[in-house]
Structure 1
Amino acid sequence: MLVLLPPSETKAAGGDGPPLELDALAHPELTPTRRKLAEALRSLAADVPASLSALGISARQTAEVERNAALFDSPTAPGLERYTGVLFDALDVCSLPAPERSRADARLAVASALFGLVRGADRIPAYRLSGGSALPGFGGLRAVWRPVLEPVLQGADEFVVDLRSGAYAELARVPGAVSVRVLSESADGTRKVVSHHNKSHKGRLARVLASAADEPADVDGVLRLARGAGMRVEQESERALCVVVPA
């Protein structure tokens, strides 16, 4: 099973690993694209105003540009520990016992505008690049990643659960994947799509799927594990699930 996670804009600082080694990351077929984007992002960092514009951030976030400038020099950390925020707080991989953490590293992958796909144990530095960004000389990242990333994901002989958000799902389509959305239900039965806090529930689901001793191979397996963990999950169609939470 492969569970695709959205990344976070925020990244944990520091790390205890050596500087970035692109050749050491999983899915080496992505290395040429990773290298081109990483070198372009580092070069762009020399022009702070241009970086702020391309990244869609304000002058108060200049530290993010500094991170990009040090992309090949700063320490690295495992991908599942580099990303922060609501989803990754709920996932909380650092609290998993060793056998469960090993399963999480093998089953989880984070969609990345810079690296395409980051597996759990891939060591990466802190950086700033969003799925909706456009780098000078490259344009939109969907056009950059789709030709190389889609074959990797579509060629994987794994059951895929796709928890990615819109911009990152656009970087590569996975036709056979199971999608998941989160709905809140009020006392009268009315349901609404959950926006920001959907990440917490997706993080909880990812933790359940990643740490389970029995790896699910289909939708029924996902439903069984999620419901066994106390989550209310319904099947909307053959390849679509929804997590239902109280309003």
Structure 2
Amino acid sequence: MLILLPPSEGKTPAVGSDAVDWATLSFPGLNSSRAKVLEALGTVSAHEDALALLGVGATLRADVERNTRLHAEPAAPAHQVYSGVLYDALDYNSLTPAQRRKADVSVLVVSALWGAIRFADRVPAYRLSMATALPDVGRLAAFWKPQLDQALAAATEAELLVDCRSSTYAAAWTPPPSQTVAVNVFTEVNGVRKVVSHFAKHTRGELARHLLSRRGKAPQTPTQLQKAAAEKWTAELVEGTPRRPHTLSIILA
């Protein structure tokens, strides 16, 4: 089982540590593409209109300035750098050592800057959305799609993929539908279901934590995943098609 997560919008900068060591990152075949995106990001972030070009507000000026020196910025494990609703709910630091080791090999974060990394990969805090277009790179989702198709094929072969990504990051890589389960979250009031956003992030983080911390074998099929989710929530499975992944719907009261 592999759990696919989006990065958080906000990042927690590392302090007093070494810069990123590219040779230690997972999926080293992506390094040339990572370098291209990093260079383009640094150029855009140094532009006088950087905030507008990156689609962020003035309160994030320091984050954008940091983008110009990412080669030298302190790096920390991805599970420390990524923060926010989903990652707070997953709460990596409160997992047991065995559960953390499981998380380090079972979680893949699809990133606008790094393509894909694992939880233990050490990276600096950065500001970049997958929806952004960069000079000489173009739209990042389109740029990363062929790179991730190649880099992740072997790592994900025959694995159940629990897809907790947002649509923006799902656009960067389409895994084989037969082995993928997309996770959706709804509220239900008087029989009427509504898609939720904030609580979807929180619940996906809780689901990831549940899958990493529960006893027994990790789910290997969509049906086993539905049963595992049903240990905590009302969970329904919709079978996929040759073109569409399976869907796990978690229903919140």
Q: Place the TM-score, normalised by the shorter chain, in its bin.
A: over 0.9
**Pairing 1:153-168 to 2, within 5 Å after superposition:** 153-155=152-154, 156-157=156-157, 158-168=159-169
- SS of structure 2 residue aligned to 1:129: coil
Measure the CA separation in 1 of the matches of 2:59 and 2:82.
Answer: 21
1:44 paired residue number: 44
Partner of 2:247: 240
Residue 238 of structure 2 aligns to a residue in which SS? strand
User: Is residue 246 of structure 2 the alignment partner of residue 221 of structure 1?
Assistant: no
* Cα drift, residue 139 of structure 1: 1.6
Alignment of 1:172-183 (within 5 A): 172-176=173-177, 177-183=180-186
Conserved in 2, the CA contact under 8 Å of 1:2 and 1:108?
A: yes
**Identity value in percent:** 41
Provide the rounded CA distance (Å) in 2 between the counterparts of 1:34 and 1:12: 20
| Equivalent residue number for residue 126 of structure 1 | 125
User: 2:197 corresponds to which residue?
Assistant: 195
State how far apart, in whole Å, the 2-side matches of 1:30 and 1:210 are: 27
Mapping of residues 67-216 of structure 1, within 5 Å: 67-155=66-154, 156-157=156-157, 158-176=159-177, 177-186=180-189, 188-213=190-215, 214-216=217-219
Contact 2:36 2:137 in 1 (8 A): no
Give secondary structure in 2 for the equivalent of 1:20: coil
Q: Secondary structure at the match of 2:20?
A: coil
TM superposition shift of 1:81: 1.6
Contact 1:185 1:192 in 2 (8 A): yes
RMSD: 1.5
Q: CA deviation at 1:210?
A: 2.2
CA distance in 2, matches of 1:100, 1:174: 25
Unmatched tracts of structure 1, length 5 or more = none
- With normalisation by structure 2, the TM-score equals 0.91
Tell me which amino acid in the other structure corresponds to 2:187: S
Larger displacement relative to structure 2 (210-219 or 166-175): 210-219
2:54 matches 1:62: no
Deviation, structure 1 residue 16 = 5.3
Q: What is the one-letter code of the residue matched to 2:192?
A: T
- Residues 116 and 128 (structure 1), Cα distance of their counterparts in 2 relative to 1, 3 Å cut: same
Whole-Å separation in 2 of the counterparts to 1:136 and 1:53: 14
Deviation track 1:3-48 (CA, whole Å, cap 9, x = no partner) reads 1011111001224542012221101111110111112212333224
Q: Letter of the aligned partner of 2:175 in structure 1?
A: V
* CA distance 1:16–1:234, change in 2 (3 Å): farther
Is the 8 Å Cα contact of residues 100 and 212 (structure 1) preserved in structure 2?
no
CA distance in 2, matches of 1:4, 1:21: 23
Letter in 2 for 1:121: A
Normalization by structure 1: what TM-score? 0.93
- Contact 1:154–1:175 under 8 Å retained in 2: no
Report the 3-state secondary structure (helix = DSSP H, G, I; strand = E; otherwise coil) of the residue aligned with 1:197. Answer: helix
Q: Compare 100-109 and 10-19 and name the one that shifted more.
A: 10-19
Question: Matched residue pairs, number?
Answer: 243
Residue 10 (1) aligns with residue 24 (2):
no
Q: Distance in 2 between matches of 1:210 and 1:151?
A: 27
